[in-house]
Structure 1
Amino acid sequence: MNGIMTALLTPFHDDGTLNEKGLREVVRHNIDEMQVNGLYVGGSTGESFLMDEGNRKDLLEIVKDEAGNDVTLIAQIGSLNIEEAVRLGNKAKELGYDALSAITPYYYKFSFQEIKAYYQRITEETEHPMIVYSIPALTGTQITIKDYGELLSLPNVIGVKYSDTNLSKLAKLKELYPDKVFFGGADDMLLQLIVSGADGAIGSTYSIIGKEANELFESLQKSDLENARNLQKQMNKVISILEEVGVYQSTKHVLKQLGVDAGYMKFPFREITEDEKKQVDKIVGILTLNK
């Protein structure tokens, strides 16, 4: 389990309901056009924390039905409600997802032992491979190297979605746990993450620059650092525009310009303005130029 995986967007209708047609289009675009190695379903990019359990199960079902066995599928099932997380995990396992992932418990300042108990319960009750989802910028939870070691020693915990920018910690973790899988989560640092030991990456922007990310990853496997640097520069031109306006909204807009029904955002996210759309349209020009 490695390579480039898209943190999948979730298309909604303007009333907030799931847009199944659009979701299927987004899945196929990522597999057929971006040629990513896998899909990370129901994460932050997918707005899953704004969805109820029923919608999250529907999301898992539709993606699996459309993707089949074409790529690796990882289901992000984390929730502050542990029973919901377990139910979602068992649903994903039943559907045939390759692995589960769960965000570290957030909002409350949980102790590490509480966080560990959370993962232990999910893995024990689902008995399915688990990838810890660490994103300290959003959860406020910093995990030490020692703590990671305890999590990685739990049965069925196979790795980490490392959405952090501490490269020295990542390098040390890979050195200590070479048999575990580590996915980088900062798209603008893909090159640095892979060089530091990441086995691949899971990113929001790969819905539109997945091909470039794949080529960068492959270049590093061939020790072609010059090409990898050039690709990262190209990617960062796109990423900087996305970040300026709003990554999720902007990526959905670009996909629509490319003929993919990426739908609307889920409330309380806003839609981007007409002026912002014009700014984001520069990305379409960059992508066309790079073809």
Structure 2
Amino acid sequence: MTSPLPAPPLGRTLCAMVTPFTPSGALDLDGAQHLATHLVTNGCDGLVLSGTTGESPTTTDAEKSDLVRAVREAVGDRAKVIAGIGTPDTRHTTELAREAGKAGADGLLVVSPYYSRPPQEAIEAHFREIADAGDLPLMLYDIPARTGTRIEPETLLRLAEHPRIVALKDCSSDFLGAQKVLARTALAYYAGCDEHNLALYAVGGTGYVSTVANVIPAHLRTVLDAFDAGDTARAARLQQQATPLIEAIMSAGLPGTVTAKALMNALNLPAGPVRGPLQPADARRTGELLALHDDLIGHSA
């Protein structure tokens, strides 16, 4: 008899949640609570706050903590709450880790240090110092297109030995490297690019941390549910049905935050404006996104 898989440490179907703002650009905590409840009700078992999609470079430390508290209050124990705390400064990141724990986070999303482009030994030391500073589990975040540096597979193999480094959000597009680390560690691997959700899951990944889940949380969960039920053909079909919308949100020339918020506003979900330097999508792009969304929902019905 096959042994059951261990429970995912930070959930399986995670949304990289946008940070709702009011029309004036202030943090919208009521909107965040409404959105968090909607996402969990519709299939998300984890919410990642203040990541790339959450516009973390434009929110203050106090806003990040307030957001964790508000979402924790809204979802209770129905979903994991993971706080994005990554900065290019090890000391500042460690401070944010402590504050996230006080605010009620279940885990931490820690991006590799950006701008300074440290070598691998320094990246490893950065993550170890943060992991040693508290008792929350860490999800490392490898997104070299934004940070300028990889977390190389050999570095991940060493970091996986740390008891509080338990997961990775993978935006490296290195599918071979992901499989090498999966085969040699117990790290929970989460797809950070929606086009890889099913592919990574099929080779042993844990799930996803999805921007597109802000607008189609139930559909994306159904992809993994179908795979788990052994209906791999249906899982593939559902993933393929979502591909046009995934491409329009993530790979059509605008940041995913901009396109996700444009569509969410059109769907009357809490989102609000983006903060500068980002600029909102125009009416034409918003209309295209809405048409793709409605077409997907129509096929999924």
| 1:39 matched to 2:15 | no
Indicate conservation of the 8 Å contact 1:131/1:157, yes or no: yes
Letter in 2 for 1:282: A
Post-superposition offset of 1:287:
4.2
Between Structure 1 and Structure 2, how many residues are aligned? 289
Indicate conservation of the 8 Å contact 1:167/1:196, yes or no: no
Partner of 2:162: 154
Alignment of 1:1-291 (within 5 A): 1=8, 2-32=11-41, 34-177=42-185, 179-242=186-249, 243-244=251-252, 246=254, 247-289=256-298, 290-291=300-301
Indicate conservation of the 8 Å contact 2:166/2:187, yes or no: yes
Partner of 2:3: none
- Give the whole-Å Cα distance in 2 for the aligned partners of 1:51 and 1:38: 21
- Give the whole-Å Cα distance in 2 for the aligned partners of 1:17 and 1:146: 42
Indicate conservation of the 8 Å contact 2:150/2:172, yes or no: no
**RMSD (CA atoms):** 1.6
Indicate conservation of the 8 Å contact 1:238/1:286, yes or no: no
Q: TM-score, normalised by structure 1?
A: 0.93
Matched residue of 1:24: which SS?
A: helix
Matched residue of 2:83: which SS?
A: strand
- Give the whole-Å Cα distance in 1 for the aligned partners of 2:179 and 2:132: 29
Matched residue of 1:16: which SS?
A: coil
Indicate conservation of the 8 Å contact 2:49/2:81, yes or no: yes
Matched residue of 1:126: which SS?
A: coil
Letter in 1 for 2:231: D
Indicate conservation of the 8 Å contact 1:3/1:217, yes or no: no
Judged with a 3 Å threshold, the aligned counterparts in structure 2 of structure 1 residues 35 and 175 are, in CA distance, closer, same or farther, namely: same
Matched residue of 2:252: which SS?
A: helix
Question: Bigger CA drift: 110-119 or 7-16?
Answer: 7-16
- Give the whole-Å Cα distance in 2 for the aligned partners of 1:275 and 1:214: 29
Post-superposition offset of 1:29:
1.6
Indicate conservation of the 8 Å contact 2:223/2:239, yes or no: yes
Cα displacement string for residues 147-197 of structure 1 (whole angstroms, at most 9, x for unaligned residues): 1111112241112111222212111111101x3211111101211111122
- Give the whole-Å Cα distance in 2 for the aligned partners of 1:29 and 1:258: 13
Q: TM-score, normalised by structure 2?
A: 0.90
Dislocated runs of 4+, deviation >6 Å: none
5+ unaligned residues in a row in structure 1: which ranges? none
Letter in 1 for 2:266: Q
- Give the whole-Å Cα distance in 1 for the aligned partners of 2:135 and 2:284: 49
- Give the whole-Å Cα distance in 1 for the aligned partners of 2:297 and 2:202: 29
Matched residue of 2:81: which SS?
A: strand
Matched residue of 1:138: which SS?
A: helix
Indicate conservation of the 8 Å contact 2:85/2:109, yes or no: yes
Post-superposition offset of 1:245:
5.8
Post-superposition offset of 1:257:
2.8
Cα displacement string for residues 40-86 of structure 1 (whole angstroms, at most 9, x for unaligned residues): 11100000112221221222222112122110111111112323222
Indicate conservation of the 8 Å contact 1:205/1:251, yes or no: yes
- Give the whole-Å Cα distance in 2 for the aligned partners of 1:89 and 1:100: 7
Post-superposition offset of 1:253:
2.4
- Give the whole-Å Cα distance in 2 for the aligned partners of 1:233 and 1:68: 33
Q: Which has the higher contact order (CA 8 A, sep 6+)?
A: 1
Cα displacement string for residues 5-34 of structure 1 (whole angstroms, at most 9, x for unaligned residues): 0001001124332112221221112111x2
Cα displacement string for residues 225-244 of structure 1 (whole angstroms, at most 9, x for unaligned residues): 21011111111121122232
Matched residue of 2:268: which SS?
A: coil
Indicate conservation of the 8 Å contact 1:184/1:198, yes or no: yes
5+ unaligned residues in a row in structure 2: which ranges? 1-7
Indicate conservation of the 8 Å contact 2:117/2:147, yes or no: no
Indicate conservation of the 8 Å contact 2:142/2:168, yes or no: yes
Matched residue of 1:182: which SS?
A: strand
- Give the whole-Å Cα distance in 2 for the aligned partners of 1:161 and 1:50: 21
Share of identical aligned residues, percent? Answer: 23
